[in-house]
Amino acid sequence: MKFYYIYKYCLIIFLLSCSQLQNQPISNPKSSHIYSIGFGSCLTQEKSMPIFNSIKSENYNLFLMLGDNVYGDTDSNDLLELKEAYALQKENFDRLNLNFPFEAIWDDHDYGKNDGGKEYIYKDESKELFLDFWNIAQDDIRRTRPGLYFELTQNIDDTLVQMIFLDTRTFRDALLPTDERGAPGKERYIPHTDTSLTMLGKDQWIWLQEQLQKEVDHKVIVTSIQFLAMGHGWEAWKTLPHERQRLINLIDQSSLDKVLFISGDRHRGGLYQFSTQSGKVISEMTSSSLNLAFANDEEEGPLRLGPTFVQENYGEILLDKLTNKLTVNLKDNQGKIIQSLSL
């Protein structure tokens, strides 16, 4: 009889322990050994943003906005349209409780002029609106240096990840209009043959060369417009082919075997890859748009890996701290992986 009661008591303790174990929260593997960076572009303040329900659930360490973060094109000297766009976007962010860390670069619609370059006369004023909206510190170099380019290097458990944010608006020369508007591959612009024209400007090129020479484990280049894509006639680095080749040459001369570009602008997502003459691998993931999808066709592209994705989407970069490997994913608005590439 005594043995029976001892057995019954032990059984009760065992069952209670199992119940308590079942109620313990299960740790998210991503949070323990994965450092995660989300990214996206093309976020109009005029539409709802259900995609952020999925983005918030990812618990990213950082989220990168790749441009067209508001739509406020304006030719008025008071920049009223742009100011109102930022005011409404702030209300949206507050309502959605988007309080995770952001880093951002601009594209044409938060720059203030559709397809705008250095000719935009209100670029200095629009820059101040951008810096204030994103709460950039008063002593940040972007407050005093022309343009918005900058770099961010993060030490993640002794793995150095460098993010280089390019400004493809402030210094860019005018593009060459197409001779066959709307034709596939020549929709709005064609490649320029004038090699004196610039995408980044002299000072940003000097700075970029210095950044590419830094010794890090992973290098991510953030460009608002696409770098590798060759199959369309909209804004892209291909419109100034000598500038595109100049950057390829700099990458070729760097110590890294591979470089990742991320881009936006195109209202479609896609994955691209190119090998340089020396065998360096350049990969690019385009993520666009967060809430303004309207593309309904495919585009040509010799460097594209698989089809493009024309619905709302966002991207992510995952660093596995155990293996030091990067994975880049394109996801739909429900968080489902559409395309993936391990680097």
308-327: pLDDT as tens digits: 999 999 999 999 999 999 99
Q: Is the pLDDT of residue 266 over 60?
A: yes
Q: What is the pLDDT of residue 47?
A: 98
Domain of 144 in residue numbering reads as 33-342
Give the position of tokens 């659930």: 57
Whether 220 is in a domain gets the answer yes
Whether 18 is in a domain gets the answer no
Whether 8 is in a domain gets the answer no
Whether 12 is in a domain gets the answer no
Counting the structural domains of the chain, the total is: 1
What percent of the chain has pLDDT above 70?
A: 91
* Upper half-sphere CA count for residue 47 (Cβ side, 13 Å): 16
What DSSP state is assigned to residue 233?
S
CB of 151 within 8 A of CB of 163? yes
What DSSP state is assigned to residue 215?
-
Q: Which phi and psi angles does 222 have, rounded to 5°?
A: -100, 115
CATH (domain of 223): 3.60.21.70
Distance CA 269, CA 314 (A): 8
Q: How confident is the model at residue 28 (pLDDT cuts 50, 70, 90)?
A: very low
Q: Is the pLDDT of residue 132 over 50?
A: yes
Ramachandran bin of 67, using left for φ above 0, alpha for ψ from -120 to 50, beta for the remaining angles: left
Residue 18 CA: distances (Å) to CA of 14, 24, 189: 6, 10, 66
Whether 11 is in a domain gets the answer no
Distance CA 294, CA 52 (A): 19
Whether pTM > 0.85 for this model: the answer is yes
Whether 261 is in a domain gets the answer yes
Cα dihedral 325, 328, 333, 335, rounded to 10, equals -20
Q: What is the pLDDT of residue 300?
A: 83
Q: How confident is the model at residue 13 (pLDDT cuts 50, 70, 90)?
A: very low
Q: Is the pLDDT of residue 232 over 70?
A: yes
Whether 21 is in a domain gets the answer no
pLDDT digits (tens, 9 = 90+) for 41-99: 999 999 999 999 999 999 999 999 999 999 999 999 999 999 999 999 999 999 999 98
3-class DSSP assignment, residue 190: strand
Distance CA 283, CA 281 (A): 6
Whether 130 is in a domain gets the answer yes
